[in-house]
Amino acid sequence: MNINDTDRTPGGAILMDGNKVRDELIVDIAKRVAADGSPKICLATVLVGDDKPSQVYVRSKQRKAAEAGLESRHIGLDGASSQTQVQDAVQELVDDPAVHGILVQLPLPDGLDPEPVLDLIPPIKDVDGLTERSMGRLVRNKPGHAPCTPTGIMRLLERYDIATSGSRAVVIGRSTLVGLPQVLLLGRKGVDATVTLAHSRTADLVEVCAGADIIVAAAGTAGLIGAEHVKPGAAVFDVGISRTEDGIVGDVRFDEVQAVAGAITPMPGGTGPMTIACLMENTYNAARMLA
């Protein structure tokens, strides 16, 4: 792709703009929906309680769904809802053939167990890629939905022409939401990166990272990755989010790393917007799988 000065950081690294790529992907999905004859494709969201950040996040998903030509259905439950009430609400969506994708906004309020709730969602409707069955399908390379944040990173790699075949990648963080699926996506046949899984307790993290062509920082530790971790020219993806006295920060010390890296995501505006875009892509794909 063509890169101009406005696409670079002051240090010269390519700025991988998640907002820009998200909007491109949303437009592409809307075109695909229109080309299919504008079928009704429904993303259902379930939110329990009145957590403000979760409310904002759900509303943003609904807006982007509309832009992508998808329909939204929202189930809002009181924070005092019982485990049975939450599971019954999700089961209704599972049983409804007009619903193609289901997303349960986490975390649930204290006292509610998310696992039985998520277990109700069949893999085809699990557009967040959170259930153990979805993870199993990813491991076995069977049709299904990968978690949205790792998928978004793969889309950024594609969009910015960052080579993966033969590259060395380090994924920092071992969550089932980001770290573990990211390792699988980078290492699968056709992508062909050689992947190392690290984490906040990796003793020689600088040494592990310094030889990597791709770094995905998803440990949730503020400022974990600095210039000393980064090979000149490497692509660096910041997934971690930490709330500090200075506000929300990522795992990557952006100002120093952007002077060394070849490409870098901002925080915010990098991997976060891509998560929502890939949720819409998964929902579109779910509708095609269910057709």
Tell me the catalytic residues. Answer: 61, 105, 128
In contact, 105 and 72? CB cutoff 8 Å: no
Residue 242: burial class (beta carbons within 10 Å; 0-12, 13-18, 19+): middle
Q: In Å, how far are 90, 193, 272, 273 from 290, measured between CA atoms?
A: 18, 32, 28, 26
* AA letter at 51: D
- 275 contacts 247 by C-beta, under 8 angstroms: no
145, with CB counted inside 10 A (0-12, 13-18, 19+), is buried
* Residue 98 to residue 39: CA distance in whole angstroms: 11
Instruction: Name the DSSP class of 185.
Output: H
Q: Count Cβ atoms within 10 A of the Cβ of residue 203 and give its class: 0-12 exposed, 13-18 middle, 19 or more buried.
A: exposed
**Cα 59 off chain centre by:** 17
Cβ atoms of 138 and 130 closer than 8 Å: no
Q: What does the block give as tokens for 152? A: 């978004």
